[in-house]
Structures are given as C-alpha cells and as structure tokens.
Chains A and B, each alone.
Chain A
Amino acid sequence: MPARAARRRGLTALDRPGGAAEDWRRRTVRDSLSVGLAVGLYGAAFGAAATSAGLSVLQTCALSLLMFTGASQFALVGVLGAGGAPVAAVASAVLLGARNTLYGLRLAAPLDVRGFRRAVAAHAVIDETTAMALAAPTTAALRLAYAVTGLSLFLGWNLSTLAGALGSGLLGDSAQVALDAVVPAAFLALLWPRLRHSGTDRVVAAGGALIALVLTPVVAPGLQVMLAAAAVGLAFVGSRR
C-alpha cells in the first residue's frame, strides 16, 4: 500500500539511485537542444530578411555571429531595408538589446562566472537562453540548460542564417510568409512558461503587448518594445491593493 501510494504520487523515480537527477538532466538537455534546432527556422527567416534588405551574405552572417540577438538583428535590417539612417539602425538594435542587460542581472548570481568564462558566457545572454535557464528547477540544471541552449542556439542560428541568406532568392512567396509567421510564434513559445505559471506575469505580459501596439504608430520602430517594459509597474500596483 505505501508503495502504491508512492507510485501514485510519482515518487518511484526518486527511489532509484540518481533517478530523478538523471531524469531532469536528460529533459534539460533535450529541451535545450530542441530550442536550438527550432531557432533554425527563425535564423533562416533572418538570413532571408537581411539579404532582401540589401546586406551581403557576409554582412548577414557577421550580424548573427557577432550580434547574436535575434530581435535586434531583425530591427537593424528592418531599419536599413526601409531606407532608415545608419544611426537609427544602430539605435533600434541597441534599444532591443538593452533587455539582455536585465537578463544578465538576473543570471549573474546563479551562473557565477568570472574573467574569460564570463566574457564567453555573456555572448549567450539572450531571450532563449534566459527563458530555458530560468525554467530549470535547480542551479545545476540552470547552468546546464544555459550552456546547452547557448551552444545549440549559436550553431543553429548561424548555420540557418547562412542557409537563409544563400537561399532567399529561391524561396517562394508561401515559404517567405511561413518564415515571417515563425518569428512571433517563437517569442510566444518563449513567453509561454511564464504565462502558465504566474498570474502576475500574465497581467504584465498583457500590459506590455497593449503598450507596444498603442505606441507602434507613434514612436520610432523598436522604441515601443523598450517602452513596454513600463508594464512591470502593473505588478506593483496590484500588490499594494
């Protein structure tokens, strides 16, 4: 009877030596790798968008290697493609990249890296790695998720950027539309774990989406995303009631 009760509560895995630990390790690696694979679709979308905005294949690949933060890259080529000023292109990338500073603040303590390791780890402080790392149950799992996601993303992102840049001329209209739709779906999937587990996150996310939509016709492209951060204030209004 106690054994059956334990099984019903899903405790059997803990009885085996290292069972639960093995389980999360495998799951962490699998989930992290699949994010890296999935971002391939998104990277191909970027490669195609950048070359059709007038960047060379080499410039497109340099952006994915050196900037390695998708939303900033899309913003930069969007401004250049629309004939915007170079300063505006840099500014939009920087505005969107500023959220990575906040991610870094959040990750600094659990990652606890110094010197050269910090310089390398910093390059992977982006949406996907932060989302995967913070979803991990323990600090050890967090570091594993960060490393595996970071590496598989870097490979997947750069290879698919190259493929998208080389293949953009071959893409039909339908494939182009499909790639465009992959981008917001990827961000929604990254946001999803927060929406499922926290009511406050849902309120803040709804506020951020509303602010961004309302401001889009009014402010420079890219700025509305940064200003959406003001929605965080909603959480504090709620908690004082």
Chain B
Amino acid sequence: MIWTVVLVASLCCYLLKYIGLAAPPAILERPAVRRAVELVPAALLAALVVVQAFTDGSALVLDARAAGLGAAFLALLLRAPFLLVLLVAGGTAALVNGLA
C-alpha cells in the first residue's frame, strides 16, 4: 500500500512540474496573470516557513524550531550564506532543546 502511495504521488508531482513547462506561454501574456504567477511563490514559501516552524499536524505549537527560525532570520539579516543559515538554525534549536 505504501508503494502505491509513493508511486502514484510521485507520478502526479512529476506531471504537475511538466504541465507548467509545457503550457502555452500565451497564458503569461496578460499582465495580471504574469504578476500573480510571479508573486505566488512568495505567498507559498512564507506559508511553508510558518507551517514547518509553528505547527504540528493541526496544532499551533511554539518549540525549539521557533528559536532556530529566529536565529536564521538574524543570520540572513547579517547576509550569512545559505549553508551557514541552516547550521545556525539547527545549532540554536538543539541548544534551546538542551536547555529546556
């Protein structure tokens, strides 16, 4: 059963990627559509940030991940490179978890 889920979901996800690349570019000719497409990733990435940091299933939670995210925010303000941002986030969360 798990294999079916893995394979069906993988195929669907690949087709979703492919459809975007294969769609007629004329779809983007209307300025409003183009603007929306350019902005959608900002909304979705921000949603992913808070969902991965502050939720557990259907519950809102505040744990070590929040401290890690705060540290990542500071690191980004200081223009740290991507890898350092992740190390700072992970290290801070582990530290906070150890103290708690």
Query: A104-B20, A189-B72 are known contacts. Are A90 and B5 too (CB-CB below 8 A)?
Result: yes
Considering the chains assembled together, what is the distance between the CA atoms of A192 and B73 in angstroms? 9
**Cα-based distance from A100 to B53 in the complex (angstroms):** 22
Residues on B with beta carbons closer than 8 Å to the beta carbon of A76: 5-6, 9
State whether A221 and B58 are in contact (beta carbons under 8 Å apart), knowing that A90-B9, A184-B68, A208-B44 are contacts in the complex: yes
CA–CA, A131 and B45, complex, Å:
10
A194 pairs with B42, CB closer than 8 A: yes
Which of A63, A178, A185, A225 sits near B47, CB closer than 8 Å? A225
Binary CB contact string for chain B from 1 to 33 against chain A (1 if under 8 A, 0 otherwise): 111111111111110111111110101100010
Q: How far is the CA of A74 from the CA of B82 in the complex (A)?
A: 21
Q: Given A182-B90, A204-B39, are A103 and B59 also a contact pair (CB < 8 Å)?
A: no
A188/B69 in contact, CB under 8 A: yes
Contact with B along A51-74 (1 / 0, CB 8 A): 000111001001100111101101
Contact (Cβ within 8 A) B21 A232: no
Task: Indicate if the CB atoms of B45 and A191 lie closer than 8 Å.
Answer: yes
Cβ of A25 within 8 Å of any chain B Cβ, yes or no, is: no
Residues B39 and A185 in contact, CB atoms below 8 Å apart: no
Contact assessment for B44 and A225 in the assembled complex, using a CB-CB cutoff below 8 Å:
yes
Size bracket, chain B contacts = 35 or more
B52-82 CB mask vs A (1 if < 8 Å, else 0) is 1111011110001101110111001000011
A106: Cβ under 8 A from any B Cβ: yes
- A-B pair count, CB < 8 Å, reads 292
Instruction: Pick from A6-14, A121-129, A136-144 the stretch touching chain B.
Output: A121-129
**Binding site secondary structure of chain B:** helix
Query: What residues of chain B lie closer than 8 Å to A236, measured between beta carbons?
Result: 32, 35-36
Q: How long is the Cα–Cα vector from A54 to B1 in the complex, in angstroms?
A: 12
Q: How far is the CA of A34 from the CA of B81 in the complex (A)?
A: 8
A82 within 8 A of B: yes
Asked whether any CB of chain B lies closer than 8 Å to the CB of A107, the reply is: yes
B17 and A184 form a contact (CB under 8 A): no
Do the beta carbons of B20 and A100 come within 8 Å of each other?
yes
CA distance in complex: A78, B18 (Å)? 25
Q: Are A177 and B97 in contact (CB under 8 A)?
A: yes
* Nearest Cβ on chain B to A154's Cβ, whole angstroms: 13
Indicate whether A209 sits within 8 Å of B49 (C-beta atoms), given known contacts A104-B21, A105-B37.
Answer: yes
**Residues of chain A in range 206-241 having any CB-CB distance to chain B below 8 Å:** 206-209, 211-213, 216-218, 221, 224-226, 228-232, 235-236
* CB-based nearest A residue for B67: A181
Bound: A181/B87 CA distance, A:
10
How far is it, in angstroms, between the C-alpha of A205 and the C-alpha of B42 when the chains are bound? Answer: 5
Bound state CA distance, A186 and B52, in angstroms? Answer: 10
Name A212's closest neighbour in chain B (CB-CB): B47
B25 and A109 contact, CB distance less than 8 A? yes
A121 B83 Cβ-Cβ under 8 A: no
Could you jot down 20 A-B contacts, CB within 8 Å? A38-B83, A38-B85, A63-B6, A93-B13, A100-B20, A102-B37, A105-B37, A108-B22, A125-B17, A125-B21, A177-B64, A178-B90, A181-B68, A185-B88, A188-B49, A191-B46, A205-B45, A208-B46, A221-B57, A229-B44
Pairs of residues from A and B, 3 with the lowest C-beta to C-beta distance, nearest first:
A104-B20, A181-B68, A208-B43
